[in-house]
Copies of this chain bind each other. A is one copy, B any other.
Amino acid sequence: MTQLFEKMTIVGVGLIGGSMARKAREEGLVKEIVGFGRTKKNLDSAVSLGVIDSYESVLLDAVQGSDLVVIATPVEKSIDIISTLLSKLDSQTIITDVGSVKAKVVDVFKESVNANAEFIGGHPIAGTESSGVEASYASLFENHVTILTPIEKNSKIAIERLKNFWIGLGSRVELLDPEKHDRILSDISHLPHVVAYALVNAVLEGNGISYAAGGFKDFTRIASSNPEMWSEICIQNKEAILDSIKTFRDNLNSISDLIENSDENSLYEMFRSAKNGRDSWLNAKEEK
């Protein structure tokens, strides 16, 4: 593939940032990759794994001359970094992120009056419950969707460049309004995490966990995700998540009432529509 950027800076070289760097190098999408992060040890191992070319210990040195800056840090931290960088970088530079919550982050750019660089929110819907640069791999984004959340203020050319970059990393790209993104992600990702954490805690209150098998293992896999990241996401996407929890709770209460009333037929209908909905989703997904 053609080179799309001269120099890419990855702020936060973990699972996502590291996988982006690996694939970008493999495909020749960027010429140089510089890292920045909290811990020297992690950055050293990113260099020795060949994920980044070098790293800097001062943020402004790390982004110096970059035409693509990827912020792959927790959401709150991203907000700080983006508001610092917007005025410091020149108008040819694209800043993007990879976080699960978009509206709050995009607002920094929307409301900024002295921005030179452009910010476009990004979110690759891919990941594992592992974290850290050691867990990163180049094919992470293949067959996955990356959502970009540009706003009116963004130039068409910057949107196009970032879109091509993500296609080069192997993912399908879709554009969404930031608020719509947050509500959708709340349903398909944030709610399942909350539910999985609650379920594991409920089961731990009993004595049965040692008997649990494969179904339980799959069902609760996401409860082994990073608790720091997820507690932050829940606060940052509060309104949407509370809304998703409410819809879920209503559905659970309906099931619970039907069980209480021994209404097997209506229970069957509820379970059947869930099964049919999931099976149709899976078929549509597998056809892609």
Number of interface residues of A (CB under 8 A): 88
Chain B residues with CB under 8 A of A212? 188-189, 281, 285
The distance in angstroms between the C-alpha atoms of A188 and B82, with both chains bound, is: 44
Evaluate contact between A195 and B199: CB separation under 8 angstroms.
yes
| Chain A at the B interface: SS class | helix
B-contacting residues, A201-252, CB 8 Å = 201-225, 227-228, 230-232, 234-235, 238, 241-242, 244-245, 247-252
The distance in angstroms between the C-alpha atoms of A34 and B278, with both chains bound, is: 36
Evaluate contact between A203 and B231: CB separation under 8 angstroms.
no
A110 within 8 A of B: no
Asked if A194 meets B252 with Cβ closer than 8 Å, knowing A218-B218, A259-B242, the reply is yes
Evaluate contact between A251 and B208: CB separation under 8 angstroms.
no
Evaluate contact between A183 and B206: CB separation under 8 angstroms.
yes
Smallest Cβ-Cβ distance to A206: which chain B residue: B187
A185 within 8 A of B: yes
Asked if A197 meets B255 with Cβ closer than 8 Å, knowing A147-B211, A224-B278, A227-B275, the reply is yes
Number of copies of this kind of chain in the complex: 2
Chain B residues with CB under 8 A of A191? 199, 202-203
Smallest Cβ-Cβ distance to A127: which chain B residue: B215
Binds B, one of A37-45, A52-60, A154-162, A263-271: A263-271
Evaluate contact between A241 and B218: CB separation under 8 angstroms.
no
Q: How far is the CB of A191 from chain B (nearest CB, A)?
A: 7
Evaluate contact between B213 and A145: CB separation under 8 angstroms.
yes
The distance in angstroms between the C-alpha atoms of A242 and B259, with both chains bound, is: 8
The distance in angstroms between the C-alpha atoms of A125 and B278, with both chains bound, is: 24
Report 23 cross-chain contacts, Cβ distance below 8 Å, ordered by A residue: A125-B211, A183-B206, A184-B208, A188-B203, A191-B199, A192-B216, A195-B195, A196-B219, A197-B270, A197-B271, A206-B247, A209-B277, A217-B285, A218-B222, A224-B278, A224-B282, A231-B264, A235-B259, A238-B259, A238-B262, A241-B259, A242-B259, A249-B249
CB-based closest 4 A-B pairs: A184-B208, A227-B271, A231-B267, A200-B274
A residues with a Cβ closer than 8 A to B are 125-127, 144-145, 147, 174, 183-185, 187-189, 191-192, 194-225, 227-228, 230-232, 234-235, 238, 241-242, 244-245, 247-252, 254-256, 259-260, 262, 264-265, 267-268, 270-275, 277-279, 281-282, 284-285
